[in-house]
Structure 1
Amino acid sequence: MQHAGLGENKMDAFGSHAGGSGKLDSSQREQLMGQVKSQIALANAQELLQKMTDKCFKKCITKPGTSLDNSEQKCIAMCMDRYMDAWNTVSRAYNQRLQKERHR
Structure 2
Amino acid sequence: MSLFGSSTPAPSKSSEDIKASPRAAAAAGKINEHCYDACVPAPGTSLSSKESGCLSSCMEKYIAMWNITSRTYIARVSQESKKMGGDASALVAMGTQ
Q: Greater share of helix residues, 1 or 2?
A: 2
1:48 corresponds, among 16, 21, 27, to 27
Residue 100 (structure 1) aligns with: 79
Structure with higher RCO (Cα < 8 A, 6+ apart): 2
Q: Which residue number in structure 2 is paired with residue 83 of structure 1?
A: 62
Give the fraction of aligned pairs with identical amino acids, expressed as a percent: 31
Q: Which amino acid aligns with 1:89?
A: I
Q: Give the TM-score normalised by the residue count of structure 1.
A: 0.60
Q: Within 5 Å, which residues of 2 pair with 1:1-104?
A: 35=15, 39-104=18-83
Larger Rg: 1
Point out where structure 1 has 5 or more consecutive residues left out of the alignment.
1-33
CA root-mean-square deviation: 1.7
What SS does the aligned partner of 1:103 have? helix
Aligned to 2:10: none
Cα deviation, residue 54, structure 1:
1.5
In 2, the alpha carbon distance for the partners of 1:47 and 1:88 equals 14
**For 1:100, what is the secondary structure of its paired residue?**
helix
What is the CA–CA distance in structure 2 between the aligned matches of 1:67 and 1:98, rounded to whole Å? 44
